[in-house]
A and B are shown apart, each in its own frame.
Chain A
Amino acid sequence: MRRIISVLVENAPGALSRVVGLFSQRGYNIESLTVAPTEDETLSRLTLTTLGDDHKIEQITKHLNKLIDVVKLVDLTEGSHIERELMLIKVKASGAQRAEVKRCVDIFRGQIVDVTSTLYTIQITGASDKLDAFLQAVGDASIIEVVRTGVCGISRGEKVLSL
C-alpha cells in the first residue's frame, strides 16, 4: 500500500542523508521525496511516499523515529489528508495540436506558463494520480520533458504535525 510519511527533522547537515540512507540500508522503497525548511528555521519538513504492508510501514516509522535528527513524524495516510504534487511539463504544440493541448490543460485546471512557436510549458498541481492522468491524456508522443516535485501533504482538520 502507498503511504505518505511526513517527518520533521533537525535542519542540520547530514539529516537528510540519514533518512535516505536508512531506506537504502534496510531495503525500503522511496517513491518520492520532498524537503524544505519550515517556518521554524531549526526544522525541515520532509515528505516521502513509500510502498509497503503494515508490518513494513511500522518498521519504517520505528526506524525513522530512532534517528536522532528526526523530531516527529506522522503517517498521513492513516487519516484523511490533503496531498499535492506540482508538475512542469513541456509538450509539443503546433498547428491543430495547440488548441487541443490548451483544452486539455483547462480540463485539468492547469496553466500554460511559457510558450514558444512549437511548445507549451504547462504547470499542473494535484494529487499524483491526477498528474498521471494528465500525462496519459496528452500522450507520450507529445511530451518533451517532465519534472515533478514529489508529494507533499498535510492532515485535514485540526490534526497538526508540530512540536
Chain B
Amino acid sequence: MLSGGDMLIRALKDEGVEYVFGYPGGAALHIYDAIFRQSDVKHILVRHEQAATHAADGYARSTGKVGTVLVTSGPGATNAITGIATAYMDSIPMVVISGQVQSHLIGEDAFQETDMVGISRPIVKHSFMIKHASEIPEIVKKAYYIAATGRPGPVVIDVPKDLTHPAYTFPYEYPDKVKLRSYTPATRGHSGQIKKAVQLLLGAKRPMIYSGGGVVQGNASHLLKELVDLLNYPVTNTLMGLGAYPGTGKNFLGMLGMHGTYEANTAMHHSDVILAVGARFDDRVTNTVSKFCPNAKIIHIDIDPASISKTVTADVPIVGAVDSVLGEMLALIKEGDEKPDVTALAAWWEQINEWRDRHGLYTKNRFDTSSDKIKPQEVIQAIWEVTNGDAYVTSDVGQHQMFAAQYYLFDKPRRWINSGGLGTMGFGLPAAMGVQMAHRDATVVCVTGEGSIQMCIQELSCCTQYHLPVKIICLNNQALGMVRQWQDMQYSSRYAESLYEDSLPDFIKLAEAYGHVGIRVTKKEELKAKLAECFALKDRVVFMDIMVDQSEHVYPMHVAPNGSMRDMLLSKTERT
C-alpha cells in the first residue's frame, strides 16, 4: 500500500527514470517528501523551472530516453511552458509532472492555481489530470508510452496535492504495458509505397537525400549512412538532423535551408528526386514553397502522417518508422537487379563538386581570415579541433547557433543539441546540464552568446551543486547578433534594442562568483591556447568570454521573400 506521492515516485523508478529535473513548491511537497524517502530516482534541483525542462530535454536528446520534469503548480507550471513548447516543436520525449492545488480548490482561483492542462494543451502531445490516486501507476505508464512512441513529444501529468497525501494509501502495481484504443503509432511503412520509392530513387539522375531530426530521433542514422554509401548519393541534413550522416563524410553537402550551404541548397534546387527522411519541409528549409525544387519528385518518409504533404506535396508518401522503412528499402535495393545510373551520377557529382569549389562552405574559408578581430566561425572551427570533433555541443539561439551548425562537423547523432523549431534563447546551458548528467565523462560544450546566456545564467549555480563541468563558449559580440544582422539587411542598420550600451556583466567575475573558472579572449592569436586551457580543465565549469567581430553576418542566407532554394546571399557583397 502506497500513498499517491509514493506511487508516483515508485512508478518513475519502475519506468526506469534515473533523473528528475525539478523545483519544489507547495502543491508538490508530498511528492518531494516521497523523493526524500528513497534513493533510486535522483532529483536535480535547477534554479528556474524553464531550466528543468531544457535540462530534461538535453538529457532526452543525448540519450534517446524520456526526460522527466517535476514542478509545482501555478508559477512552477507556467515557467515550464517555454521548455515544453521547445520539446514539442522538436518532437522530444518528455514527461512533465506538475503539482496542482487540492481537488476541491480547483476552479476557485486558489493560491498558486493555474489551469496547467489548459495552458499546455497546444504544446503537448497529450496531457492527463489525475482524478484519483489509484490511477497514478497506469497514467504514468501511459504518459511515458505516449511520450516515447510514434512521433515523440512532451506529456503533462497534473497532480492535485490531495491525491498525493501520505495519509491515504492504495495497492500499487505498475502495469507491464498499456493499450490505448485510440493510439496506435505507425511502425512499418506500406510495402507497395516502399517499392515505388526504391524504383523512383534508383531511376534518379540527380538525386538528393534530405534527412532530418526524425532520423536522429528514430535511431536510424546507421541505416541512412548505409543507404547513402550503398547508392553513393549526395546527402544533406537539416538543422535538427546534423550528425545523422557524418559531417566529415564524403557524400555530405552540409546543412540545407536558410543558412545552409551553397552546395546543399543548389543541389536540392536542381535535383530530380528527393528522398526526404524524417524531415518536415520547414519554412526555414524550403524558402518560397511554390519555388521549391521545381523539377524534383519527392519521396517523403515520416512517422507522422500530418507531416506529409503539409507544405510540400509528396509524390511517394510513406508513413512509418524511419528505421523500419529505410531497412526495407535497403533490403530491396540489395536484393534487386536495378542499380543506380552510374553515368548520370558521375555527372551529378561533377556538377556538385563544381558548386563546392565555387562557393562551398568547407572548400575554402568563407570568412575573412586576415581580419585582426576574432571571427565567430574560427572559434567554432577551433572548438572542433580541440575536442576532436567528438563533443556534445548544445547551443542557444542566434548567430552562434548557425555558426556552430555550419562549422562543427558532427560525425555522430545525438551530439548536436539545439532548439531548432521554437528557437528558444536560454536553452543552451540547462540543456548542457542534462547532457552532462547523462554522460558524466563526456566533453559537453555550450556554444552561446552574451544575449542568450543571460536568459538562463542562474543555472551556473546548478552546475556547482551537481559538479557538471560544462564548457560555456560565449561568442560575445556585444549585440543581439542575429537581430542586428537583420537590422543591417532590412532596416538600414537601425539597431533597435539590439545593443547593450556597456551594461554587460563581467562574465569572468560572474563565473568566479559561482565557483567556476572564467577565461576571457580578446586577441585572435591567443584563441587556440586559451581554448586548450579551457578543455584541459576537465572537472571545472569554464566560462569562456570570447570577444568576436560584431559586424560579422551569417552566410549563406536565403534571399527572402520570394526566393527559391538556390537564391542566396553569399557574403555582404555577393549573391547567387
CB distance from B312 to the nearest CB of A (A): 11
Complexed CA–CA distance, A65 and B310 (Å)? 15
Partner of B306 from the list A55, A59, A69, A72 (CB cut-off 8 Å) is A59
Q: Is A70 an interface residue, CB under 8 A from the partner?
A: yes
Of chain B, the residue at the smallest CB distance from A9 is B182
Q: Is B304 a contact of A71 with CB atoms below 8 Å? A: no
- Interface SS, A side: helix
Q: A21-B122, A25-B122 are in contact. Are A66 and B304 (CB under 8 A)?
A: yes
Q: Are B181 and A62 neighbours in the complex by a CB distance under 8 Å?
A: no
A68 CA to B127 CA in the complex, in Å?
Answer: 9
Give bound CA distance, A118 to B420, whole Å: 65
- Could you tell me the distance between the alpha carbons of A108 and B180 in the complex, rounded to whole angstroms? 46
Distance between Cα atoms of A159 and B331 in the complex (Å):
39
A157 interface residue per 8 A CB criterion = no
- The answer to whether A17 and B310 have CB atoms under 8 Å apart is no
CB of A163 within 8 A of chain B? yes
Alpha-carbon distance between A21 and B126 when the two chains are bound, in angstroms: 13
Nearest A residue to B182 via CB reads A71
Do the beta carbons of A163 and B183 come within 8 Å of each other? no
Question: Inside 8 A of A59's CB, which chain B residues have their CB?
Answer: 306, 310
Q: Is the beta-carbon distance between B306 and A10 smaller than 8 angstroms?
A: no
Interface flag for B195 (CB, 8 Å): no
Q: Is B118 an interface residue (CB 8 A)?
A: yes
Interface residue? B169 (CB, 8 A) = no
A68 and B146 CA atoms in complex are apart in Å by: 9
Which of B125, B180, B304, B306 counts the most A-chain CB atoms under 10 A from its CB?
B306
Measured between beta carbons, the chain B residues less than 8 angstroms from A65 are 305-306
For A55, the chain B residues whose CB sits under 8 A away are: 309
Question: Contact: B182 with A10, CB < 8 Å?
Answer: yes
> Is A139 in the interface zone, CB < 8 Å from B?
no
What 1/0 flags go to B306-318 for Cβ under 8 Å of A? 1001100000000
Q: Would you call A109 an interface residue if the criterion is a C-beta within 8 Å of the partner chain's C-beta atoms?
A: no
For B117, the chain A residues whose CB sits under 8 A away are 14
7 cross-chain pairs, A with B, having the tightest CB-CB distances, nearest first: A62-B306, A71-B182, A68-B126, A25-B122, A62-B305, A68-B183, A63-B306
Given A14-B121, A18-B121, A25-B122, 9 other A-B residues pairs in contact with their CB atoms under 8 A: A10-B182, A14-B117, A21-B121, A21-B122, A58-B309, A62-B306, A63-B306, A65-B305, A72-B182
6 contacts between A and B (CB under 8 A): A18-B121, A25-B122, A59-B310, A68-B180, A68-B182, A71-B181
